[in-house]
Amino acid sequence: MTAVASPEVAGPPGVRTPMLPFLQGMHEQWLQEVRSVLDPARGESAGIWLRWRAVDYLETGFRRRFERERRAVSSLHEHVTGPQATHLWAAGELVGQLMENMRHQLGLCHRPREFSSLAVLLMSALEHWCREVEESLGPVRWGEVAPSSRALFETITYDEATLGA
């Protein structure tokens, strides 16, 4: 029997509260998580298995979380300007293309230099994505966010695949 925990989500943010503090906190935690996986795998003493675990994380948990966030951000399209939408699209495509490129890098865990280069690019792309999301959606107040979009944001960090593991 496996116990399934529900996502830990605080009560709904205040109606007049801007999204920025929520987004910054969520991104800070995510960036720290990604660094904690990639940095050790990029180290000189890192072996094949450490890089393999990092690649596995990027292809599974990281990818799922990025797709959930991208869906949530897209759900607020009416709150962004044309240029902001373009920046968000480009930042999302950059991360997506790097992830797709990684899928075609067979044996990446055996090539430390290539792994390290891709990891640095991906980290930079993720930081860019986070900045674009925060700049575009940070001023939006929670009271302006539809319940369906709010639900998407509240479950970005929720990953059913890792529950009970």
Render pLDDT for 91-133 as a digit per residue (tens, 0 to 9).
999 999 999 988 777 677 788 889 999 999 999 999 999 999 9
**Mean pLDDT of all residues in 75-101:** 96
Residues 39-46: contacts with CB within 8 Å, 24+ apart? 41/115, 41/119, 42/112, 42/115, 42/116, 42/119, 42/120, 46/112
Please indicate whether residue 39 or residue 8 has the higher confidence score (pLDDT).
Answer: 39
**Mean pLDDT of all residues in 45-61:** 92
pTM for the model stands at: 0.85
Q: What average pLDDT does the chain have?
A: 87
pLDDT at 63: 94
Q: 103 with 55: CB under 8 angstroms? A: no
Residues above pLDDT 70, as percent of the chain: 87
